Amino acid sequence: MQPPIIKMPSEYDDQNLARTLTDQSPVMRRSAEQRGHVTSLANEVLQRVARRAAEVRETRELLAIKSTASVLTSGTEAEAFSALESLDDPLRDLDWFLSDRLGPIAREIGALWNGGTITYQAATSGASRIYSYLRYRRRPTAMPDHGLRKSATFALVPGDMHTLAISAAADVFRARGWDITLLIGYSNEELCNHFKGSTDRIFGFAAGSSQSLEQLGRLVVSVTDARPEASVFVAGQITDDPSTVLVLPGIDFRDVELEATCNWFEAHTPPTAT
């Protein structure tokens, strides 16, 4: 005969399970504590490394900003362009470039000027180079067809009285086959409105003296802001001293000789447009 099967009550199984868990709990607790320590240590290491990387990046960016500000105010045109290009990222949008790059550089140039480290001319030159690069960055890679192949706008700087010279220049260009829009006696606001609606690719401004420099600068900024793809030239007696207009941003050509200006016009006319 087989011995009878004795079934233990369920309370016995529960007691054995509880005793087993109680016996293992110190080991499990130590294992869980160890895992917690390792996780905490790993998080601390990662946070420290991230903070250190951010500090290193900020230090490098600050040094690059200071170095670029110095180059913009004291270096050559090529060095200034190269410095700005090294800080640029073509994959990032314009807002990023303005806020994270050009903004800090402009503030650094302002601090150098306010602290007496650089001259007014150097600060102005730095600002001009910033704007010139910004204009270059905004220019489209493909130039749209705006109609007439040989068309341009000539405008006399508001307040300037040298109307005869710009009128004669317009006649010369018209005789050579150019369609010239001549604007004399217009206010700055009226000229700006014309720039926005014009289909011309070339805009020329004439001024007789350095007294017109401020108004000339406003016009150049206005046209390059409204039409970043356009080319801008300056003519007149104000170009006798190149340093006078050198500080203005956005000028592509300047020459007092009419023949040189005509050659520049021809070279900057799209050959395929009609």
Would you say residue 8 has pLDDT above 50? no
- Residues 128 and 213 occupy one common structural domain: no
Would you say residue 119 has pLDDT above 80? yes
Query: Where do the DSSP E strands lie in 29-171?
Result: 151-156
CATH code of the domain in which 202 resides? 3.40.50.280
- Residues 255 and 201 occupy one common structural domain: yes
What local confidence, expressed as pLDDT, does residue 154 receive? 92
Average pLDDT of the chain to the nearest whole number: 76
185-222 pLDDT, tens digit each: 999 889 988 888 888 888 988 887 777 778 888 888 88
Q: Is residue 30 part of a domain?
A: no
- Residues 69 and 127 occupy one common structural domain: yes
Q: Are 132 and 249 in contact (CB under 8 A)?
A: yes
Would you say residue 182 has pLDDT above 90? yes
Q: What total of structural domains would you count in the chain?
A: 2
Angular region, 229: left φ>0, alpha ψ -120 to 50, beta rest: alpha
Q: Are 234 and 219 in contact (CB under 8 A)?
A: no
Among the candidates 88, 104, 138, a domain finishes at 138
- Residues 119 and 223 occupy one common structural domain: no
Q: Which residue has the tokens 């600060």?
A: 123
> Which three-class secondary structure state does DSSP give residue 152?
strand
Q: Of 242, 253, 246, 251, whose CA–CA distance to 122 is shortest?
A: 246
Higher pLDDT pick, 205 / 46: 205
- Residues 190 and 251 occupy one common structural domain: yes
Lowest mean pLDDT among 32-46, 60-74, 172-186: 32-46
Rounded CA-CA distance 239/206 in Å is 9
Whether the model clears a pTM of 0.95, i.e. scores above it, the answer is no
- Residues 155 and 252 occupy one common structural domain: yes
126-179 pLDDT, tens digit each: 887 887 787 777 665 544 544 446 889 999 988 888 788 889 889 988 988 889
Q: Is residue 172 part of a domain?
A: yes
CATH code of the domain in which 68 resides? 1.10.1240
Angle between helices 213-226 and 120-138 (to 10 degrees): 20
Q: Is residue 93 part of a domain?
A: yes
For residue 244, the enclosing domain spans 151-267
- Residues 159 and 262 occupy one common structural domain: yes
- Residues 216 and 178 occupy one common structural domain: yes
